[in-house]
Amino acid sequence: MKQATEILRFALTKIDDFKIQGAARWMIYLFVALLMCCIALFIIGWIFTWKNTGVISLGDMSAFIGEITSVSFIAAIGFFGKALVDKDGDGIPDEFEK
């Protein structure tokens, strides 16, 4: 748990180094927060179902893993990764200026 906390702390310090400001930055934060909440809720629900029924639903977990490694999911992550690039330093991501 301590290692996970340190990784999260390191990631948050690196996010502050980005020169993106305003609504674009908050949109990226919101997307990442919603994504992490959805993943956490799925795993919590999966564990809850396992504890209450005594049956591990490997099909559901397999489908979940397949979904988060799908081409569309990776493309969405790539889009938001590109949205973090601001080469001219005006606070608006280059992808949003196009």
Tens-digit pLDDT profile for residues 14-73: 665 555 566 667 777 787 788 888 889 999 998 999 999 998 888 888 888 888 888 888
The DSSP symbol for 12 reads H
pLDDT for position 53: 92
pLDDT for position 20: 59
pLDDT for position 16: 59
pLDDT for position 48: 93
d(CA 45, CA 41): 6
Gyration radius (Cα) of the chain, Å: 17
Residue of 71 and 9 predicted with greater confidence: 71
The model's pTM: 0.56
Judged by DSSP in three states, 81 sits in helix
pLDDT for position 15: 61
